[in-house]
Structure 1
Amino acid sequence: MVGSPRLGHSKWVSLGRCKVFLAIIFTVLIFHLLFVRVGQTPKHLQAYTVQDVLSYNDVRIPPGFNTTAPSVKAAFVSVTRNQDLHELRGAIRQMEDRFNHRYHYPYVFLSDEPFTDEFKETIGWMTPSKVSFGLIPRNHWEVPAFIDRNKMREGMSYLTSKSVIHSDSLSYRQVTRYYAGFFHKHPLVEDYDFYWRLEHDAEYTCDIDYDPFLYMRERNIKYGFTITLHEFLDTVKTLWSTAQQFMTTYTHYTEDKNTMDWVSSDGGNSYNLCHFWSNFEIVDLSFLRSERYERLFRFLDEAGGIFYERWGDAPIRSLAVSMFLKKEDVHWFEDIGYLHSAFQNCPANSATQMKCHCDPDRSIHLNDFSCTRQWNQLSASK
């Protein structure tokens, strides 16, 4: 009986030591996850220079790759991350089954963080085409020095109060800015003439038995889309007035036979919020590399609306298309079945439907939230 308290005391001491030991292990584990797994440096301190990017770029060419040479210097490009791997596998699988197994166009994957070996090996299993993995340069990704961080946070808070999607997401703003003005300058993309944007969570719901790249090149088409939508007003409150300033300053850049009537229903007084949903786009990269597109992007970028509001690459690209291209320079790929989030393009043509697994009655162009009907009603000349 006298010894019982001593035994109890020893038991609690052992338990206490156990807790301390477990706490130490937990701390070491957290340190490993936060620091070691991203290459010994916290992610927010990583700074990839041009040399880092060039030395990291990983191009993998599978055996027997040259069995069929692509008709056009073109590639699928995806800005993605390691955690998107398994959704991305589905998108690639559908792209291969629906289209690319006949054409063998290459893929380019870009990220602000190094891809894991698992990511690269798994992607390599999904396609017999050439695949490339690249880092995004720091100066193309980070928040620019001219952005007022306090104003940015205030803008995010405002959009959050309005329940706007991606309202407080910095990474969303970074990726849309990158797509709007920088991806076509990456060393892994600069040798291509056309690009097809590939989203990790997109579905391709119809067989594509012709080459859209070749179709565009032969017809001198600069921009191809499947879906159009109206943007949320709160995310682009000053975009139109800023674009008007650009057009007033650089009058010589605007195409005489432009399609500005598609983005403004009142003769240019206001923006009607129509835009091409750019998560699907096939683009002649000479358009994005042109002096006028570069000048417009820099003008809009320096205005800060990408971070202060939430200007996306979709309305920015749409304004550029409307200012600089004629209607015949743009093509609606009505026959390409495409599904992303809740919106889809599904062809109604009965012959095409035999090669699809989508419901044409649910195609977004039938909905008033789409602007495709207005696009089709535009005159090809003024």
Structure 2
Amino acid sequence: MRYVVLALGILISLHFILSLTHESYGRVTGMDTIKTKLSGKGSNVPPYKVAVPDKYYVKENATTPELVNAAIVMLARNGDISGVMTSIKQFEDRFNKKFHYPYVLLNEVPFNDDFKRRVTEVTDSKVEFGLIPREHWYQPDWVDEEKASKARKAMADAKVIYGGSLPYRNMCRFNSGFFYRHELLKPYKYYWRVEPDVKFFCDLDYDPFRIMEDGNKLYAFTISLYEYEATIPTLWGAVKEFVAKYPELLAEDNAMAFISDDSGQTYNRCHFWSNFEIASLDLWRGEAYSKFFEFLDEKGGFYYERWGDAPVHSIGAALFAKKDQIHFFSDIGYRHEPFQHCPQGNAHKKGKCWCDEKDNFDYEWYSCLNRYDKMFT
């Protein structure tokens, strides 16, 4: 859903600068060595620095390879049609016209006929349009509206980005705990989240879903950064309560080091920017994350504060997946205003990327990619 535009993106950048501390393809089967490389096991370098084996690449004019059980997911409104068309057309041209993965588009109101017509004309893939159940979208009745409205006003007065927006909070809660429960997504195991008005810079001639499945990956990203602290003042306290109550649900060799610099005592505010994510739906459907979301939801922080799905997903992935099950797709060029990941070096050339290599967020001082790297070194 197009909730970020350039003007607001500039505000986000300013908020980050003010609030952050300066801290420092044919299917390949039966190939254990390749799976070891994709999983990152037995290596002291981040998994993304191991090149994708050539056999994963689809040759020009090759027949459509066998697909993984996956879908492309987009949350959008009828008024987002221009941005939706921009994103899907680029996504098709860079990747999906070679693979034909299905699309699932979701909206809290029915999509109109013009929206459906325009989307289905730009792709040969199957497209399904879903209506979000009311109970999954709107603020629940048990939320104290007087308390919530006071919090919205206080954040708006403090000029917190989307601080006064109730629809934004509905969206964050839906993406955190409900999108993967939608009837249209029940048949699928993996998803790729795409939003209106994003850019894909590079040709992608292999299937990231195949990397996820063969490498036993559960979550993947392209951009990571610090969360705006004013939106989540009590989130980490709730996380610590949950961990103390359910320590058995944490994965062994998890990615706690990505989100905390002191073994979980405090949150360093690092998160994966969830407007792009390729992930296993089973990660969210599992017992650990299900209990985690329900625990957080009962706290009311999606409405009494402004908890975003990005930190909630990121903390969930860091706690309930092994660190080598979280993957950085370094060769997928991507922009969501105001930040972008532009592949570097040979990956830029191989992908015929049209972004400027110098305009790359990876190791800006408010990026968290260095913390991801440190987990493997």
TM-score class, shorter-chain normalisation, is 0.7 to 0.9
Secondary structure, in 3 states, of the residue corresponding to 2:358? helix
Partner of 2:152: 156
Amino acid at match of 1:178: F
Q: Which structure: larger Rg?
A: 1
Q: Deviation of residue 274 (structure 1)?
A: 0.3
How many Å separate the matches in 1 of 2:347 and 2:110?
44
Report which stretch shifted further, 328-337 or 253-262: 253-262
- Among 190, 215, 221, the alignment partner of 1:219 is 215
What does residue range 40-55 of structure 1 map to in structure 2 within 5 Å?
Answer: none
Secondary structure, in 3 states, of the residue corresponding to 1:134? strand
Q: Deviation of residue 351 (structure 1)?
A: 4.5
How many Å separate the matches in 2 of 1:356 and 1:234?
36
Post-superposition Cα deviations, 1:217-272, rounded to whole Å, max 9, x if no partner, equal 01110001000010000000000000000001111101121111211112322111
Partner of 1:181: 177
Q: Deviation of residue 157 (structure 1)?
A: 1.4
Partner of 2:129: 133
What does residue range 214-293 of structure 1 map to in structure 2 within 5 Å?
Answer: 214-293=210-289
Partner of 1:350: 346
- Among 256, 271, 290, the alignment partner of 1:294 is 290
> TM-score scaled to structure 1, two decimals?
0.80
How many Å separate the matches in 2 of 1:266 and 1:196?
32
Secondary structure, in 3 states, of the residue corresponding to 1:361? coil
Q: Deviation of residue 162 (structure 1)?
A: 2.0
Partner of 1:326: 322
Partner of 2:54: none
* Kept after mapping to 1: 8 A contact 2:231/2:305: yes
Q: Deviation of residue 360 (structure 1)?
A: 1.9
Amino acid at match of 2:371: Q
How many Å separate the matches in 2 of 1:146 and 1:68?
49
Partner of 2:205: 209
Moved over 4 A (4+): 67-70
Is 2:65 the counterpart of 1:77? no
What does residue range 103-142 of structure 1 map to in structure 2 within 5 Å?
Answer: 103-142=99-138
Unaligned runs of 5+ in 2: 1-62
Is 2:156 the counterpart of 1:147? no
Distance 1:303 1:294, change over 3 A: same
- Among 303, 307, 310, the alignment partner of 2:306 is 310
Amino acid at match of 1:377: K
How many Å separate the matches in 2 of 1:98 and 1:254?
37
Amino acid at match of 1:137: P
Amino acid at match of 2:100: H
Q: Deviation of residue 142 (structure 1)?
A: 1.3
How many Å separate the matches in 1 of 2:347 and 2:219?
25
How many Å separate the matches in 2 of 1:256 and 1:93?
40
- Among 87, 90, 93, the alignment partner of 1:91 is 87
Secondary structure, in 3 states, of the residue corresponding to 1:366? coil
Amino acid at match of 1:293: Y
Q: Deviation of residue 379 (structure 1)?
A: 3.4
Distance 1:69 1:146, change over 3 A: farther
How many Å separate the matches in 1 of 2:163 and 2:349?
37
Amino acid at match of 1:270: T
Count of residues in correspondence between the two structures: 314
* Higher share of residues assigned helix: 1
Secondary structure, in 3 states, of the residue corresponding to 2:214? helix
* Kept after mapping to 2: 8 A contact 1:70/1:104: no
Taking only aligned residues, the RMSD between alpha carbons, in angstroms, comes to 1.3
How many Å separate the matches in 2 of 1:379 and 1:196?
25
Q: Deviation of residue 160 (structure 1)?
A: 1.3
Unaligned runs of 5+ in 1: 1-66
Amino acid at match of 1:201: D
* Kept after mapping to 1: 8 A contact 2:148/2:303: yes
Report which stretch shifted further, 239-248 or 167-176: 167-176
Amino acid at match of 1:356: C
Post-superposition Cα deviations, 1:71-117, rounded to whole Å, max 9, x if no partner, equal 11111111110000011101000000000000000101110001100
How many Å separate the matches in 1 of 2:210 and 2:178?
24
- Among 352, 366, 371, the alignment partner of 2:368 is 371
Partner of 2:34: none
Report which stretch shifted further, 324-333 or 350-359: 350-359
How many Å separate the matches in 1 of 2:156 and 2:164?
6
- Among 359, 362, 365, the alignment partner of 1:362 is 359
